[in-house]
Amino acid sequence: MAVTREEGGSNAIKGFLFQFDRTILEILDNPQDVIRVEHSEDIVREKYYIQVKNRESTKFYPSSIRRATIQLLDLFLEDEERRFCLYCHFKDKKPGAWRPSFDDIKAILGKSHSEYMKEKIEAFSSHLVVQFSDDYNSEFNTVIKKLKDSLSLTTRQLAIMYHAVVRSYLLDLAVKDLRERTTSFRKLKTLVANIQSRVSMGGYQHILGAEKYEKLIRKQYFTHRRANVDNFERLFIIEYDDTMKSTDIMQTIMLISHKYFIKGKSPQPYIFFRKLEGDVMKEIKRGLIDKGFFFNDGTWFDRDKIRADKLFAKSRDERYGNVNILPTEEILQNKKFINYFDEIYEFHVGDSLAIRDFEGRHIEVPVCDSQQAIKILKG
Give the mean pLDDT of 135-143: 81
40-66 burial: b if 16+ Cβ within 10 Å, else e: ebbbbbeebbbbbbbbbeeebeeebbb
Q: H or E stretch including 17?
A: helix 5-29
Whether residue 1 is predicted with pLDDT greater than 60 in this model: the reply is no
257 three-class SS:
helix
- pLDDT for 372 equals 92
Provide the residue type at 148 as one letter.
K
Q: What is the pLDDT of residues 304-328, one digit of tens each?
A: 787 877 788 776 666 678 899 998 8
Q: H or E stretch including 238?
A: strand 234-239
- pLDDT for 263 equals 83
Confirm if 74 and 42 have CB atoms less than 8 A apart. Answer: no
Q: What is the pLDDT of residues 252-282, one digit of tens each?
A: 999 999 999 988 888 999 999 999 987 888 8
- pLDDT for 2 equals 34
Give the mean pLDDT of 233-259: 93
Q: Could you give the percent of the chain with pLDDT greater than 70? A: 84
Whether residue 292 is predicted with pLDDT greater than 60 in this model: the reply is yes
Give the mean pLDDT of 236-262: 93
- pLDDT for 284 equals 92
Whether residue 379 is predicted with pLDDT greater than 60 in this model: the reply is yes
Q: Give the pLDDT band of residue 50 (cuts 50, 70, 90).
A: low
DSSP state of 266: B
- pLDDT for 213 equals 84
Q: Give the pLDDT band of residue 207 (cuts 50, 70, 90).
A: low
